[in-house]
Amino acid sequence: MEALADRRLYFITDARDDLDDLLNRAIAGGADVVQIREKTRPDAIVLPRLESARRVTARARVPLVVNDRPDLARLVGADYVHVGQDDLPVTAVRQLGLKVGQSTHAESEIRRTDADYIGVGPVHATPTKQGRPAVGLDLIRYAAQTAKCPWFAIGGIAIDTIDGVLEAGAMRVAVVRAIAEASDPEAAARALSERLASAGFR
């Protein structure tokens, strides 16, 4: 599997009923990392959907990330676990033999993380992170100058807001609603991917 440094469009979704179809469409449009972030459905439903998502992403050679559940990640052979600041420490997850991504919301968190990759945000207020204030573009500029690992700008990013984060120095973005709630997820992913490419991502 290619390193995340070579990836640019990170798509996050829950384990919804049409998950396989959604992932196939998003990947066809250019999503090249997929995270399953499930907060409400029971494990008995989530596990088989993760297993199916693993098959979809493996065929496409797209890294699969499981949010905050190293147990499920190991069961399905996911590539990464993603944790927040209040979840299991990165070092603890690594003891389970897993690669780790971590959410960061402040300069100090970017400096001290030893994760394999980080998310930086939320850039804009977003209902997927209720109660988490937007960090704005200053933190994106800081990450562009100081981050020691691959990083993805996240939070309210869509085709009409992506230019701001790219101008602030982001080369990679993570999105949720911009693809998951689009009437045509493939076209939405393609538009974002093309905008990233036109900004000179290498």
Show which residues are catalytic: 37, 103, 129
Q: Where are the beta strands (DSSP E) in 17-148?
A: 33-36, 64-67, 80-83, 99-104, 117-120
Please enumerate in sequence order all residues whose Cβ is within 8 A of that of 125, keeping only pairs 6 or more positions apart, or say none: 133, 134, 155, 156
Do 140 and 163 form a contact (C-beta atoms < 8 A)? no
Q: How far apart are CA 111 and CA 114, in angstroms?
A: 9
Handedness of CA 116, 37, 195, 23 (dihedral sign): positive
* Intra-chain end-to-end CA distance of the chain, in Å: 17
According to the 3-state scheme, what is the secondary structure of 66-95?
A: EECCHHHHHHHCCCEEEECCCCCCHHHHHC
Do 2 and 150 form a contact (C-beta atoms < 8 A)? no
